[in-house]
A and B are shown apart, each in its own frame.
Chain A
Amino acid sequence: MSFEWPWQYNFPPFFTLQPNVDTRQKQLAAWCSLVLSYFRHRKLYTVDVLEAQESPVFNNKKIERKLSVEAIQVVFEELRKKGNLEWMDKNKTRCLIMWRRPEEWGKLIYQWVSKNGMVNSVFTLYELSNGDDTENEEFHGLEDWMLLRSLQALQTEGKAEIITMDDGKGVKFF
């Protein structure tokens, strides 16, 4: 299924950071939702800032417009403020895009676990993300770091406990 671009994507001013404060707010809101929905569609989780400029999200070849590096930084900062982005390094070269927040993932995982009556069982992380049982689940293929964050969120809620095993990590659900 191909991605449906929003109307702003083909509007040249969308790729120029607007000086008018009100206009800018609307523009950034549109960018945030575009980035999140695109990443969700492609199931992408990490972005390298320098590579980002060439990604179709920020570069519309058809109208020959692309977002400048400064503007991309502004969009990322906006996402970070909303809780959808985390920088992986101090220099802000790579970041994690959480188009779904850890708490939300945690909830989905727990729902699946309880639906299948597997509470009180122990799983390895690999089983959860790549196991045959979870193939139809949304969290199938979830990257490790994201999975870990989600389970940590559940842990804070008291619904799970992360266990360290010989060859990796596991989790027990309550």
Chain B
Amino acid sequence: MDRFTWANGLLEMNETLVIQQRGVRLYDGDEKAKLDVGVVLLSTHRLLWRDQKNHECCICIPLSQIIFFEEQAAGIGKSAKIVIHLHAAPANKDPGPYQHSKFSYIKLSFKEHGQIEFYRRLTEEMTQKRWENTPVSQPIDTTAGPKAGRTRAVGIVGIERKLEEKRKETDKNISEAFEDLSKLMEKVSALPSASILPTSVTTAKEMVELSRSIANKIKDKQGDITEDETIRFKSYLLSMGIANPVTRETHGSGTHYHMQLAKQLGDMLQAPLEERGGMMALTEVYCLVNRARGMELLSPEDLVNACKMFESLKLPLRLRVFDSGVMVVQLQSHSEEEMIASALDNVSDKGSLTAEEFAKLLGLSVLLAKERLLLAEKMGHLCRDDSVEGLRFYPNLF
């Protein structure tokens, strides 16, 4: 850990951000570093780490210092790690968080996963060694005396620096936003036989090119994308099926993952929902989805969190919770009033119905049938008859 130096988190002129991952804790050798959980950033020249809560606390190390690195698999209660072995620190190294360390290796512990992707990118950068082509000088202290953290913004220089910072931030955000697409490109090129694949193979590459051009335009002109390009972009997205399941390891955890999952569910559940009259209990969804996935199963929490995002992502599905606590996924087009009106008709026809009889009549599960009858009762259309014979519902003649 004594190889790290304090940094201001800004990228240099020729330096590009490659990937970043949050939820990473640093280890000095085998011991936890005296720093909190943060974001690790890989650039073409350096490996940086920034504290998640205190953005001023940022450290870095040049990639040239890395001898080699390896993955350490996750264990029970232990996150997956990447172990990085380092050269000795140069004599004129700038101050860092540690003065000395008895270890010559560090570890990155990925508490929120994402290690597979990071490892792959690190390998790429270490192979390409892009820092050798575009050397970047070590950040020089312009103010007198030692300091740590961000440069102070003073006067015109400060203002210019702030603008520069902002520009780099935007750049980074945009690169991040299209991160997945580069990944998709990767997967596309890795796929073996083009014959089994739909046209999405070629459109993927085009789409990614388009998205890159849009990204550049945003950077330059602050969002002046033509409508034509937007439409093309959207059509590409639509034509895209899902080539591989979205997993925690490749994409990290957090809402990003859930958003992807929500979109996948949106596609997958359309047909089954229509078959079942527009509504399915969440437990049924869980079974259906996991059976279809085969491997890389979803946990119940992930499913619920993804379902909660339906509305904000403007998908045509909704997660709904009844008074009794039962959760269902229903089509947005599903109208509850219609359902209740038809329930009332059914009950009136037969005089009275139990939940089981109603379920049989409609081809619904008993649970959902009961929920519908209870809802009709709540609205005052039905009343109940509770006796030793069971619970029956009658039209409300009161």
Contacts and interface: CB of A to CB of B under 8 A. Distances in A.
Interface of A: 7-8, 11-13, 15-16, 18-20, 22-23, 26-27, 30, 64-65
Most buried by B among A12, A13, A15: A13
A12 B392 contact: yes
A16 B380 contact: no
A64 B388 CA distance: 10
Contact of B383 (A7, A20, A64, A65): A20
B358 interface: no
A11 B385 CA distance: 9
Contacts of B378: 20
Contacts of A16: 383-387
A23 B380 contact: yes
Contacts of A27: 383, 398
Given A20-B378, A20-B380, A23-B380, A15 B385 contact: yes
Interface of B: 352, 377-378, 380, 383-387, 392, 394, 396-398
A167 B114 CA distance: 101
Contacts of B386: 16
Contacts of B398: 8, 13, 18, 23, 26-27, 30
B387 A20 contact: no
B374 to A, nearest CB: 9
5 contacts: A12-B352, A12-B392, A13-B383, A13-B394, A26-B398
B389 to A, nearest CB: 8
A23 B378 CA distance: 9
Contacts of A18: 383-384, 398
B377 A13 contact: no
Given A23-B396, A26-B398, A30-B398, A15 B387 contact: yes
Top 6 A-B pairs, shortest CB-CB distance: A26-B398, A12-B385, A16-B386, A13-B385, A13-B383, A13-B394
Given A15-B385, A23-B396, 10 more contacts: A11-B394, A12-B352, A12-B387, A12-B394, A13-B385, A20-B378, A20-B380, A20-B396, A23-B377, A23-B383
Contacts of B380: 20, 22-23
Contacts of B396: 20, 23
A22 B387 CA distance: 21
B292 to A, nearest CB: 39
Nearest to B377: A20
Contacts of A11: 394, 397
B2 to A, nearest CB: 70
A19 B385 contact: no
A16 B352 CA distance: 14
Nearest to A25: B398
Contacts of A15: 385, 387
Contacts of B383: 13, 16, 18, 20, 23, 27
Contacts of B377: 19-20, 23
Contact of A19 (B352, B384, B394, B397): B384
A170 B305 CA distance: 80
A26 B380 CA distance: 11
A27 B396 CA distance: 11
A82 B396 CA distance: 25
Nearest to B392: A12
Most buried by B among A8, A20, A65: A20
A63 B397 CA distance: 17
Nearest to A16: B386
A51 B298 CA distance: 59
Nearest to B388: A64
